[in-house]
Every structure is written in C-alpha cells, then in structure tokens.
Amino acid sequence: MPGDIFRRFLFSALLLGAAAVSWGALRADDAGDAAGALRVGACQVDITPTQFPVYVNGYFNPRYYTEVLDPLYAKAIALECGGERFVFALLDSCLFSSDVPNEIKAKVEEKTGFPADRICISATHTHFAPSLGGGHEVAIGTPSEEELKAKGVKPYAPRAIAGTVEAIVGALERLEPAKFAWFTAREPRHVFCRRFLMKPGTAWDEPADLVEVTRNLAQMNPPRQSENIVSPLGVPDQTIYCLGFARPDGTPIALLANYSSHYADGPGIKDRVTADFFGVFARRITEMLGADENFVAMLTNGTSGDCNCIDFLNDQPPYDYNLVGEHLAEKVFAAYQGAQYRESASLRVRTDTLTLALRRPTAEQVAKARALLAEGGDSLKNTTRRYAELTIASESLPEQRTIPLQTVALNGIGLCAIPGEIYSFTGARLRASTPLEANVVISLANGYSGYIPPAEQFELGGYTTWRGTSALEREAEPKIRTKLLSMLRDIYAADNAGADHGAGE
C-alpha cells in the first residue's frame, strides 16, 4: 500500500511536468504582448543587526547569535507599465507573520501614496537571520517577551521594517526607462527531495494528540541512505527562473531570480548571522555582470517545502552555502548571455484574499499536552516538548484565517505569491494548468501559515503535515491553487481580448 501511494503521486507529478513543458511551448507565441513603455527602479538597504544578542527562530529551540558572517538586506524592485505598478520586496529573513509586511506596506502608502495591494514582500528563508517577531500566525514556539528580555535581546524588527520601507520608497524614486528579459537555467546539484516514504514503523513519530496524525509513513530529512527509505515523495523543481531588467543601453538594473531549495548551512556559519546562499548568489551575480553599486539581485524562495540541498539517496560531495550560491550564480550568468530583451511590456496585477479554516486542538488534546509537560519535565524529547507547547498555543487561534494571494504577469510571465512553505507538487500543478506562458511560485510571501501540503499528503503524515507546523485546513492547498488559477485566467483574459486559451485543472 505505501508503495502504491507513492507511485500514484509520482505518476501525477511526471504528467504535470510534461504538461508544463508542452503548454509553455504552445503559449510562447500567443501570450498577447500589449505594447507599453516599461520603467523599473531598484534599491537595497542594509538591515544587518547592530545590537546583540539576537534571537534566531529558524529551529525548534531558540538560538541567540552575537556575531555576523555577512550582511542582511531588504531589497525592492519596482515596475511601472501602462498605468499599472508593482513592487517586489525581499527580506533576508527566515519568515514573518502578516503583521510585518502589513506595517511596511502601510508606511509606504503613507509616505508615497503607493497602494499597499501592489506590494509583495517575501522572505528568503535563511535560517540564520534574527526573528522579526512571532505574531499571531507563526506557530513555531517563539519565546515570550520576558524570556527574550532575560537573554538581553533587543528588538530587531524595527530596523528591518524601516529598512524595507526605505528600499521600497527608494525603488519607486529610481523608476527609469527599461527593458526586460525572461530566461531560465537549471541547477540540479543543490535541490533534492527531503520527504520520504518510509518502511512501516520507522518514520519519525510523535503522540497523535500533539500532531493530529495517528500513523506516520513519511519522514522529512531521514538518515542519509537509510535502509528504511522506500521512495522519495516529491519531484524537485531544478529550474532557476529569472527576470532581468536593464536600461535601454543594456546596463543592468536588477535581477529577480527564483529557486526551490530550502537553505544550505555549512561549517563556516557557526552560529553567525548570514543571508546563506541567497546572499552569496546576489553578491556573485552582481560581480559577474559587472554591475554598479545600484544594481539589485534578489533570489526568492520557490517550492522548497519538501526539498533542500541534501541528497539523501546517494553519496554527496561536501557542500556549503558558499558553493550553492556560487553554482547558482554561474548558471544564471551563463543563461543571461543568451537572454532576449523585450522593449515593450504588459504588466497585470491581481490581489485577493482567501479565508481558510485553521487546525485547532480539542480541549482534551490541550489537557493531555499540559499533563505531558507537567509529568515529563526535562525527560521529554525535545520535539515532543515543542509540539506539546504548540498544542497549547494553538488553542487560542481563531477558527479561520484570511490569507493574501497575489498574481503578477509581465508579458505573460506569471508569478504567484503565497504566504507559506510550498511543496514541489503545487508548483508543478500550477505550471501545468496556468493559461500564461510560464508560472513561478514565490513562497513565504506577505505572511506565514506554515507548511501548505497538497491534500493527499496528509494521509502519509510526517513533520510537514503536523498540526503546529501546518496550521491551515487539509484542503488549503487545492483551494489556494484554484484561487490563483482563477486570478491568472483573469489576467490572461485581460491580455487576450476574448481569446479563450485557458487550461483547466
């Protein structure tokens, strides 16, 4: 039975991948470019912490760093075409609740009049950046204010928020005539499935009352080359998607790239603040292009919820965040040489919301969690203690959450922004069904609602489906995907004057 489940998932994913290729080929010539002058502006601001220690929230247990390995940035790329405008902003951060981007957008609108619903703010997902605060959405065990004060932690969020506002305003102020190019590269060496079907009884398990799963057949990050691995449960997206922006004379202005690997880590980090491979990529591609100090390169996070840099099935040469960033930059630079720039553009934007149920524990499950903590004390396994704490914290969640969704299309190149950690299956299904020339997922955008697995993955269990790390209802992913496709079809209809080439799911 477990093998049958996996084969069903794999066959579906392979079909979706094939569909994505054929649809892309069919649509490349009928995307319906609407001539219009494009203006682009870009700006980045250093948001490296200056007060220490800082609290880092990329792990189950709180970490407190006192040193910096490399700088963190807030980056923004502003687009304007045919009366439409949009800003992509990116923070070197693990994640943030919607409180953070909402505050940034409100301040930008107050300063400039630029509408908040025309701004997308996402996180790279480096696990080595200071926390921006837990907020009501981030259910990962944020320490209380009292605990943070006891550690001497100073607030970091104000610096990051102010820096992001400055970057967005700066990008808007620097709007200038531009052209753009859409191109892709492939880098298979640093993205692998990290979620596996395991032999019955061998997957990482926790008490069902704490995670809402009675039997786990799936495990994230199992021991490498374990004899208990049956099959991978994902098909990683190995593509680097790129939008390049340049002045009419060809001078680079900005680059927006997207890659679907989690984060890299490496022996050189040693509990120091770093932007991980996202920062290395940005520095190296800037150098390779010979761009000036005003050039902005951003690497957004794609569908990495079930993928990372580790090959769990085969021998893997040593790697670290520097090598990953370097390899990505090399591949993008090579592809950049053949990029074809477009002189005119059509910019379309749709912003909407979707209300979803939250997975909340019962009063009985909360009582069991409290009893477990009281009785187990220090003898409890670390993850068991954390999920007991998350169960108690989840009791106060509302029954529903309304999440923001955004779709943007530049000459038929679609980008979808989703507030959570997205599986490779979701990206494949969106690419197979989109009516546009191409579709890219930007995850961890405009907030955070945990992992958002495809509905069928819940029957396999595993960390990325557990309540506490996957807060939304089990049908959240298909509902999100359906909503995004509706928004993309609306964009396609607007660009194609009644031509009906939209694809069904």
Instruction: Reply yes or no on whether the pLDDT at 445 is more than 60.
Output: yes
What's the confidence (pLDDT) of residue 143? 78
Cβ within 8 Å of residue 155, ≥6 positions away? none
Q: Is residue 253 a contact partner of residue 116, using CB atoms and an 8 Å limit?
A: no
Which of left, alpha, beta for 287 (phi over 0: left; psi -120 to 50: alpha)? alpha
Maximum separation of any 2 CA atoms in the chain, in Å: 70
What's the confidence (pLDDT) of residue 497? 59
**pLDDT digit string (tens) for 11-36?**
454 444 443 333 232 233 333 334 48
Q: Residue 32: CA atoms inside 13 Å, Cβ hemisphere, count?
A: 17
Annotate 56-98 with three-state secondary structure: ECCCCCCEEECCECCCCEEEEEEEEECCEEEEEEEECCCCCCC
Query: Per-residue confidence at 419, pLDDT binned at 50, 70, 90?
Result: very high
The whole-number average pLDDT for the span 121-148 is 79
Report the candidate in 410, 499, 456, 397 with the shortest Cα–Cα distance to residue 138: 397
Cβ within 8 Å of residue 374, ≥6 positions away? none
What's the confidence (pLDDT) of residue 138? 52
The whole-number average pLDDT for the span 75-84 is 96
Instruction: Reply yes or no on whether the pLDDT at 357 is more than 90.
Output: yes
**pLDDT digit string (tens) for 205-246?**
999 999 999 899 999 999 999 999 999 999 999 999 999 999
What's the confidence (pLDDT) of residue 367? 97
**Overall pTM surpassing 0.85 (yes/no):** yes
Percentage of the residues of the chain whose pLDDT score is greater than 90: 79
Q: Which of the pair, 147 or 254, is modelled with greater confidence?
A: 254
Query: Per-residue confidence at 296, pLDDT binned at 50, 70, 90?
Result: very high
What's the confidence (pLDDT) of residue 266? 85
What's the confidence (pLDDT) of residue 62? 82
Distance CA 326, CA 323 (A): 5
Q: Tell me the backbone φ, ψ of residue 434, rounded to 5 degrees.
A: -65, 140
What does the block give as tokens for 389?
Answer: 């704490």
